[in-house]
Amino acid sequence: MTSQYTLSAVKRENLGKRASKRYRRDNLVPAEIYGSKENKSVLIDVFELNNQTKDPQFYSNVIDISLDSSKIEVILKDIQRDPEKS
């Protein structure tokens, strides 16, 4: 199944609150990909994500995430936003 929404991601090395704050300062959004075998922590570019989320269909379609030369099909489960910045 091909999707019209694609995002590129990078594997997240550091975990925790301090690392997340550093990533957000560098315009990267921390994300989790839940799978049947293992969960993956990834980073997505904030500008690429904001362009995709402008379309309301983004929230209900399959999204292709390219991670380390492989494509993973995901469905958006949850999104958290800062109420002051939204």
| Both structure tokens of 9 | 């991601």
Per-residue pLDDT at 22 exceeds 80: yes
Is this model's pTM higher than 0.85 or not? no
Q: What's the rounded Cα separation, in Å, for the pair 65 and 29?
A: 14
User: Among all chains, which residue has been given the structure tokens 């995002």?
Assistant: 7
Instruction: Please name the residues in contact with 4: beta carbons below 8 A apart, sequence gap of 6 or more.
Output: 61
Question: pLDDT tens-digit profile of 25-54?
Answer: 999 999 898 887 888 899 999 999 888 888
**What's the confidence (pLDDT) of residue 78?**
81
For residues 31 and 43, what is the distance between their CA atoms, to the nearest angstrom? 6
Q: What pairs with residue 11 in β-bridges?
A: 42
Residue labelled with tokens 């402008």: 54
Secondary structure class of 41 (helix, strand, coil)? strand
| DSSP helix/strand/coil, 62 | strand
